[in-house]
Amino acid sequence: CYICLTWTLTVVAIVPNFFVGSLQYDPRIYSCTFAQTVSTSYTITVVVVHFIVPLSIVTFCYLRIWILVIQVKHRVRQDCKQKIRA
């Protein structure tokens, strides 16, 4: 289910790029490159939505996992100390 959601969101995120730019040859780098025909605010929005938001979500999730691991580690240490004393 999450895999389908991931692919769906990816397609939804990519579709607007088909309508806001084109591929053009850039002689400076001898290659085709994506030339956007939209405003700077659109570019900033895309960067925020496609990079900053996912990075924030991943960072939050990893921090929660890290905190959970530390809590479990402390519980295990306390249990070991109590068993040694008993």
In angstroms, rounded to a whole number, what is the distance separating the alpha carbons of residues 86 and 76? 15
Task: Tally Cβ neighbours within 10 Å of residue 38.
Answer: 14
| Ordered mean pLDDT values, 10 residues apiece, the chain (86 residues) | 84 79 85 79 82 90 96 89 75
The first and second tokens of residue 59, run together, are 């960072």
SS3 24: strand
Report pTM: 0.58
Boundaries of every domain in the chain: 1-38, 40-86
